Structure formats: C-alpha cells, structure tokens
Amino acid sequence: MKAAIKNYVVEELLSGRDIGDKDDLLLSGLVDSLGVMRLVSYLEQQYSLKIPPQDVTIENFVNIETISLYLAGRVGA
C-alpha cells in the first residue's frame, strides 16, 4: 500500500521527484492545497472508501508513512 501511494505522489504530484516516506510532503511547493485534494480523491477511488474532511489533517497527511498508517487503519476496520 505504501509503495502504491508513494508511486502516485511521486509521479502525479511531484513530477517524478523522489521523496522519503517520512519527509514532509507538504513542504514541497509542488503539492499545494489542490494537490492534497487530488490525492484524497485518488485514495478514495483506489481503496473504495470515503475520507471525511475531518480526517484530512496534518496528523494523517504530513508524509507518506502517516497516510499509509491512516489508510491501513481505515481499510482494516
């Protein structure tokens, strides 16, 4: 799951620039608030779930690691 998320982030949001799992994803100018929304709708589609707005927070979306932890929790539940 982590690899798939990373692949989407690097290819679709960062124009191919690599990023570490724990690097702050949102420090890059390439991911703005519209980019975050694109990522959210991709994840919703990919994992067939609804991500409520109150979950789109710094705790869940700061880096690829936290995003996969959040999703693992959601998918497993």
Partner 1 sequence: MNYLLNHAIDRSAERFAERTAFRFLDESLSYAELVERANKLAWTLAGEGIGRGDRVGIFLHKSIESPVAVYGIMKAGAVYVPLDPAAPVSRLRTTIQHCGIRCLITHAQKQQDTLDLLGAETPLECIIGLGAVDHPGIRAFGWDSLESAPGESAPNPGVIGQDLAYIMYTSGSTGIPKGIMHSHASALSYARMAAQTYGINHNDRLSNHSPLHFDMSTLDYFSGPLCGAATVIIPEAYTKLPVSLAKLIESERLSVWYSVPFALIQLLLHGLVEERNFENLRWVLFGGEPFPPKHLHALRKLWPQAGFSNVYGPAEVNQCTYYNIPDDEPESDMPLPIGKIWANAQGLVVDEKDQPVVRGEPGELIVRTPTMMRGYWQQPELNEQAFCQRKSAGGVPDVYYRTGDLVQEMSDGVLMFLGRKDRQIKTRGYRVELDEVESVLAAHATVEEAAAYLVAAGLDTASIQGAVILKSGQDEVDSEALRQHCARHLPWYALPESILLLESFPRTSSGKIDRRTLQGHAIERERSEIEL
| Packing angle of the helix pair 33-46, 64-76 (nearest 10 deg) | 30
53 binds partner 1, rule: CB under 8 A:
yes
Regarding 35 and contact with partner 1 (CB under 8 A), the answer is yes
Is 37 or 75 the residue whose CB approaches partner 1 more closely?
37
Convert 18-27 to b/e letters by CB count within 10 Å (16 or more is b). Answer: ebeeeeebee
> Does 56 interact with partner 1 (rule: CB under 8 A)?
yes
Binding site for partner 1 (CB under 8 A): 15-16, 24-33, 35-37, 53-54, 56-59, 61-62
